[in-house]
Amino acid sequence: MTESSWTSAGHDVEKSVDLDPQTQALATTIQLPQGFRAVADDVEFAPQVFEALARVEKMLLNAVANSDPIIDRASRHLAEAGGKRVRPLLVVLSSLLGERGITDEVVKAACIVEMTHLATLYHDDVMDDAPMRRGAPTAQHVWGNSVAILTGDLILARASVLAAQLGPGAVEVQARTFERLCLGQLHEFAGVREGEDPIAHYIQVLSDKTASLIACAGYYGTFYGGASDELRDVLVDYGEKVGIAFQLADDVIDIMGQEKASGKINGTDLREGVDTLPVLYARQDAAAGDAEAQRVVELVDGDLTSDQDLKTAVTALAAHPATQRAWDEARAWSRKAIEALAPLPHGTVRSALEAFADAVVTREG
C-alpha cells in the first residue's frame, strides 16, 4: 500500500490506495473540469474518482499504442494532447450512484467512451480542415487526411475490442451511440429537408453528434456501477440535455468568446457554412422583416475567406439579439438537465452534475 495525494484546483485529498507508480503519477496530475469542485471537496469520493481517472488515462494510452512508430505517433497524438476528459469523469461519477461503485468494468467503460470521442475528433478535423486541436497541429495537418481518417478508425476499433471484453450489451450500446454520432454528422452535412423546421433539425443534430456520447457515459456508469434502472434512465436523460446545452453554448462562444491561444479564431462555423443557432435565429428575424437581421444574414452569407470579412460578420452577429436568444436557449437546456436530476439522492454526485450543467453555460471557452 502506498500513501498518495491528489490535487485539483487547490484541494488536497489523501487516502491509502494500492497504485502502481505510473498510475500514481498520473493521479497527481489530474485536474477536474470546471464545475466539479464538489468532487474535490468530498474526502470520501475524491480519492476514488482521481484513482479511477488515472487508471482510465493509463488504459487509454496503452490502448492507442502501436508497435509501428508512425502509427503509434498518430494514434497517441490527441490522447497525449490532453483534454477535459469530461465523458470518462461522468462514467465514474455515475457509477457512484450504484451498489458496486467504481469497478474494473466502470474504468474500462470510461476508456471506451473517451476513445470513441477521440476517434470522432480525428474525423471531425478532416471534415473541418481544422489546423489546430487542443493547442497542437491536427493529425491531418501532420500526416495527411488518409492517415487521420484511418487513425480515427483504428481507435474506434480498439474501443470496440474493449467493449467486447465487457460483453455484447456494451458492444451494442457503443455501436448504437456511434451510429447516432454518424447520423448527426450526416444530417448536418445534408442540411434541412423541405418542410422541416430548421431549428428542430439543428437540435436533433446536436442530440446525435454531441449529446449521445454524454448520455452513453451516464448509461455505462450507472449500469456497471450497479445502479437501478430508474437512475440509469435519469443519467441518460441528463446526458442528452446537458450535451445539447454544451454544444449550444459552444455555438455562442464561437461568436462571442475570447479567441484562443491555440490560434482558433471566432466564427469558424460561419466560415464553414454551418448554420448554428444564432444564425438560424437571425434568419428567422430576417424573414420576418428585421432590417438589421437581413444585414447580418447578408454578411454571414458573403465571402468569409478573409479574416477581416469574417470578423465583420462575427461582430454583427454577436451584436444582434439572435445571439442572446441562442445563449438563453442554451441556459434553458442546462436548466432542463438540472431538473432531470431531481430523482437522484442529494449528495456529492448530484451536486457535481448540477454544477457541471451550470458550468457549461457560464464558461467563456
Domain ranges of the chain: 30-227, 228-364
pLDDT of the residue at 263: 45
Residue with cell 493521479: 27
Dihedral sign computed on CA atoms, order 62, 66, 67, 70: negative
Question: What is the CATH number assigned to the segment(s) 30-227?
Answer: 1.10.600.10
pLDDT of the residue at 42: 86
Tell whether the model's pLDDT for residue 78 goes beyond 90: no
Tell whether the model's pLDDT for residue 16 goes beyond 60: no
Tell whether the model's pLDDT for residue 261 goes beyond 60: no
Q: Where are the alpha helices (DSSP H) in the chain?
A: 21-27, 37-41, 45-64, 69-80, 86-95, 104-128, 139-143, 145-166, 168-190, 198-206, 212-225, 229-256, 268-271, 277-287, 291-300, 307-319, 321-340, 348-359
Residue with cell 456497471: 224
C-alpha 312/C-alpha 309 separation (Å) is 5
Report which of residues 39 and 259 the model is more confident about: 39
Closest CA to 252 of 278, 230, 220: 278
C-alpha 235/C-alpha 215 separation (Å) is 7
Which residues does 287 contact at the CB level (< 8 Å), separation at least 6? none
E strand or H helix at 17, and its extent? strand 11-17
pLDDT grade, residue 81 (50/70/90)? confident
Domain 228-364 fold is Farnesyl Diphosphate Synthase (1.10.600)
R_g of the chain, CA atoms, integer Å: 21
Q: Same fold for the domain at 30-227 and the one at 228-364?
A: yes
Q: For the chain, what is the mean pLDDT? A: 86
**In this structure, are residues 216 and 173 in contact, taking their beta carbons and an 8 Å threshold?**
yes
316-347 pLDDT per residue, tens = 999 999 999 999 999 999 999 999 999 999 99
Over residues 209-218, mean pLDDT: 97
Q: Calculate what percentage of the chain has a pLDDT beyond 90.
A: 62
Closest CA to 27 of 36, 44, 41, 40: 40
pLDDT of the residue at 298: 97
Angle at 79 between CA 111 and CA 214, to 5 degrees: 45
pLDDT of the residue at 186: 92
Tell whether the model's pLDDT for residue 13 goes beyond 70: no
**In this structure, are residues 213 and 243 in contact, taking their beta carbons and an 8 Å threshold?**
yes
pLDDT grade, residue 11 (50/70/90)? very low
